[in-house]
Amino acid sequence: MNRLLQIVALLVFIFGASMPTVVLASDGQKSVLVTGASTGIGRNLAETLAEQGHHVYAGARKDDDLAALNAIENITAVRLDVTKQDEIDAVVALIEESGTGLYGLVNNAGIGDGGPVVDTPVEVQTLVYDVNVEGVYRVTKAFAPMVMESKGRIAITGSIAGTLAWPGGSAYSGSKHWIEALTDALAGEMAPHGVWVSVIEPGNFQSRIRRSGALRRQARVVAAGGVITPEMQKEYEETEARELSYKEPDAVSEAFVHALFDDAPLRRYMVVPSAEEQAMTISTKIQQLVQLNEWGPYSYSLEELTEMLQQAMAPGED
């Protein structure tokens, strides 16, 4: 059995009847893999890139989502659960055999969950980190060699939660703090290979991440033998109403497009729908700076801090 037949057999084993139809990128067309493309930011970005003429490998887990994505011109849907190494390996093999190469990797798949540290099982945080941290690590490790070969771009969905934290939010916020560290470390590792790494940090935009988290909490109660209380149902309905009131993530996709294709990409893109979210995030960063500077013999004066800020804002600096 030759290499191609081996790959096909592997794909049939993993994807079954939902094996994707590979749409070969046309001459000069760049291919981008977007994980978590079934809804929210990932779906918006996949559609945006496809509309602009790019070829998108759109990762999703459910048959209905795969079929819907495959129906869109310039999109090849791939079954991709970022917690499953065999599915990651299968998509690597698919792209290698397709001959399209991979110019861009967008690590977008993520979940929201958590709760107060004292009251929340460790397994809940483990799940969040398995997707939001280890999933990003697995995918990056698997696809980075192809991006390095094309001297392309890696962009990661962070969050203003990478700066902010709140009671009950340590799991999700902690995972997005990790994304901040990964971005800086990976950028240094990729720079010698001609690959730029960016993090896009959205505020509150329309998606299903909060509703999905509420449904997981309900499922845990039922699995433990409990029942869905009126209070829990009210929480879900209020969460749904809040999510649907947010703006569509078009501005987030715009930032991703800049990070992937502009000649002068940025390291960080904070994308928020309101001045209030901008002020809250930046003021929190400043508070953290002040706290870092409060202790020890080497603290800086306001004038020295101002000079550092001016240097950091100088043209050509990150």
- Overall residue count recorded for the chain in this entry: 318
Q: What per-residue string of b and e applies to 196-227 under the rule 16 or more CB within 10 Å gives b?
A: bbbbbbbbbbbbbbbbbbbeebbeeeeeeeee
Answer whether 56's CB lies under 8 Å from 34's CB: yes
d(CA 136, CA 99): 24
d(CA 288, CA 7): 50
Closest alpha carbon to 209 in 229, 239, 189: 239
Annotated catalytic, 137? no
Among residues 57, 103, 129, 172, the one annotated as catalytic is: 172
Alpha-carbon Rg for the chain, nearest whole angstrom, is: 21
d(CA 237, CA 232): 9
Q: 3-state secondary structure string, 230-264?
A: HHHHHHHHHHHHHHHHCCCCHHHHHHHHHHHHCCC
Annotated catalytic residues are 172
